[in-house]
Amino acid sequence: MRFLITVLLTLLSGLALSQITQAEYFVDTDPGIGSGEAISVSSAFELSESFTISTESMENGMHTLYVRTKESDGGWSLYDKQLFYISNPINQSEIQYAECFIDSDPGTGNGEAVPISSGLIVEESFSLSTDGLATGMHTLYTRVQDLSGVWSLYDKQLFYVSPEPNDSEIAHAEYFVDTDPGIGNGTSLVVAEGMLVDEDLQIESEGLESGMHVLYVRVRDFQGSWTLYDKQIFHIQEAGPIITAEYFFDFDPGEGSGNELIIDPGFNVYEQVELAAEDLEAGTHQLFVRVMDSDNVWSESDTAEFKILTVSVDEQSFSFAVFPNPASEQINIDTETQILELFVYDMNGRQVAYRKGHHNRVDLNQLSAGKYVLSVRTYAAVHRFTFIKD
C-alpha cells in the first residue's frame, strides 16, 4: 500500500530569500539531518510538491510524517509534520453511501446524506447549509458505508461561521507583530476607505530581533465591527552595510548582472543619478533597483514606472536658460517650450519645492543655502539643472 501526501514546502528569509534546493522526509524517527529519504524538488523560493511514500512495512496505527528543506546556503529548515493512519482494508467492497454531521454525532446512519457515486474511492464536492449555526468555530464530520454495511471512521474539518455581512465600508486598519495588544491597540495603517482595500504598506521592523516573526493585520468597518486578523510569517536578518547597487529596465538579468550604480557604501545610501535609457522604445517601462550588503546578500528590487516619450523636432530645437546661478530669492527659466511641472530636489533626493503648470520661476526663500537640482517637465521630456542657493 502507498500513501499519497501533498506538502507545501515554504522558506522565507530576510532581505533576500534563499532558494530551496533539497528536501527530505522521514517517518516517526529522525535519522539525522541529511539522512532522510530524498524528495525530488526544483530549486525555488516556495515549493508545492506531491510525492508518494511506501507504507508497506509500517504497522497499523497512527504515524507521523516529517518534512524539511535545505537552503542554497546550506542551512536546513525546521521540519513540518503531518499525522496519518495505517489500516489494512477489511475488504475491497465499494462505497455505497456517505453522510455528514456538524459538531455532535447523531449515530451511524442518522447524519445528513451526501449524494455520491459508488466506487472504491469517492471524491465529491457538496454544499452544506449553515443556517441556524452560531457564529464561531464548528466541526464538520463525514463518513461512508460500503456495500457490506461496514462504516468507516469519520473524517473531520474545522470551519468558521462569520457574522452576517453588514455592507459597511472598511474605515480603519491596524497591525501588530507576534503578540496581540488587544483590538484597537495595534499600530494604525493608513488605508483608503472602501468595501475592498488593496494596499502596499511599509511595516516598521526596527527593534525586532533577528529570526522568524508573524505579522497580523485586521480591519474595522464604519459600524465598529472588527474582522479576524490575517497573518504572514516573515524573517528578520541582520544586514551589513550596502556595498553595491545595480539597476535594470523591464526584465531581470539576474543578481549581479544589472547596470552598476556608483554609490558611497553605508547602511543608508542616498544617491541622485542619471540613468541612460537611449535604447528604450517609446512607451511605459519599469525601472528596478537593488543593493547588496557586505555579506553578499541582495535585497529585493525596488521598482518605479516611467514613460519614454518621443521628443518633437520643434521641442528639441528650443533652448533652456536657468538663471541666476547662484541664486538667492528665486530662479528663472527662459524657454519657449510649454512647462507642465517644476520640481526642486536637495542632494539627498528629497523634493523641497514644486509648481504645477506653466511657470517660469521658482521661489527659493524657504530653502537653506546649498546645492539643489531643478527638474523641468514638458510634454516630451524632463530637463534637469543644478544650481546653488546662496
Q: Label residue 154 exposed, middle or buried (CB < 10 Å: 0-12, 13-18, 19+).
A: middle
In tens, the pLDDT along 199-237 reads 777 777 778 887 888 899 998 888 888 888 888 888 777
Rounded Cα distance between 300 and 292, Å, is 10
Positions in the chain whose pLDDT score sits under 70: 1-17, 88-92, 164-167, 239, 272, 274, 276, 278, 309-319
> Residues with Cβ < 8 Å from 93, sequence gap 6 or more?
146, 147, 148, 150
pLDDT of the residue at 309: 65
> Residues with Cβ < 8 Å from 213, sequence gap 6 or more?
177, 178, 233, 234, 235, 236
In tens, the pLDDT along 2-61 reads 444 444 444 443 334 578 888 999 999 999 999 999 988 887 777 777 788 888 888 888
> Residues with Cβ < 8 Å from 208, sequence gap 6 or more?
177, 236
pTM recorded for the entire structure:
0.32
